Amino acid sequence: MNSIIKLQYDNGLFLAAPNAKTGYHRVWIRDNIYALFGAEQIQTIHALLDIMKKHSYKIDWMIKQPTKEGWRYVHPRYDENGNELEEPWGWKQNDAIGALLWKVGKLDKEGKIEWREGDKEIVQKLVDYLQAIEYWHDSDNGMWEEKEEVHASSVGACLAGLLAVDHVVHVPLHLIAHGEHALRTLLPRESVTKHTDLALLSLIWPYKIVTARERELILKNVEELVREKGVIRYEGDLYYGNGKEAEWTMGFPWLAIIYKELNDSKYYFYLNKARNAINANGELPELYYGGTSKHNENTPLTWAMSLMMAAENGK
């Protein structure tokens, strides 16, 4: 396996994959948080907080005048300098904000973050932002940037983020209560239209925001999505479809990590599946076309590589 450091810009931000043709050379908030499982770097967190500061006017505007218009939401994706990309996108990705808050709070509890001027202020604004959009019943585009609906994976990420920073900034108790109620109501489904979804694994790891029973049901359902070269995101997924759903390599190391933490021998099964999905260049691509050994052009995928490194290191 190759290192993911080569997939990083000088300012610490990670690109999704080295492919400008598909736009994967851009910087996603979520992908950067997941990249840190393979390469822990405070520089990346500082760079992400700086992006939020750069666009704090937008956060303030939403807090003062909430709306459901997508372009008014905090963007999930930027260029390497932290500038918004204007082309239409699935802008409502609440889980990305939750992920950032979760990582910031976790690093602070571990004594690994150096707070700079304005950092805690922007964290507080992000908490207030989640309150303004009423994240617990807000229809967003979710982890896969698709149909707007209330996603359990988004609600759970926000809830985990709020719980993680409640020792750093002020988190109103009703934000936690609303999130808990919404999540318990939604699970084990991802949404009204999705019985299950690969994104639900995030609630087990890294967020650890589910009960033992919910974890059991989520794993049972997600494992129905396991294929030869990866895990499909959900039934009927059309992205990079070839008549069958694309098989996402990140699913294997993700499941391996979860089973490693459960001291379950399935860890070795999924670790081997992940190793078998590595291409000739020692990389995990984004996905393989359904039922084939041909992968798409987004390789290596930073997110998948990072999860693989975490799975192999037993993190």
Q: How confident is the model over 127-155, as pLDDT tens digits?
A: 999 999 999 999 999 999 999 999 999 99
Q: How confident is the model over 33-55, as pLDDT tens digits?
A: 999 999 888 999 999 999 999 99
pLDDT at 314: 55
Q: How confident is the model over 244-301, as pLDDT tens digits?
A: 999 999 999 999 999 999 999 999 999 999 999 999 999 999 999 999 999 999 999 9
Asked whether the predicted pLDDT for residue 3 surpasses 90, the reply is: no
Three-state DSSP class for 283?
Answer: coil
Residues of 195-224 as b/e, b for ≥16 C-beta within 10 angstroms? ebbbbbbbbbbbbebbeeebbebbbebbee
- Confidence class for position 2, pLDDT limits 50, 70, 90: low
Q: How confident is the model over 196-238, as pLDDT tens digits?
A: 999 999 999 999 999 999 999 999 999 999 999 999 999 999 9
pLDDT at 315: 44
What is this structure's pTM?
0.97
Q: 193, 197, 192, 238: which is closest to 219 by C-alpha?
A: 197
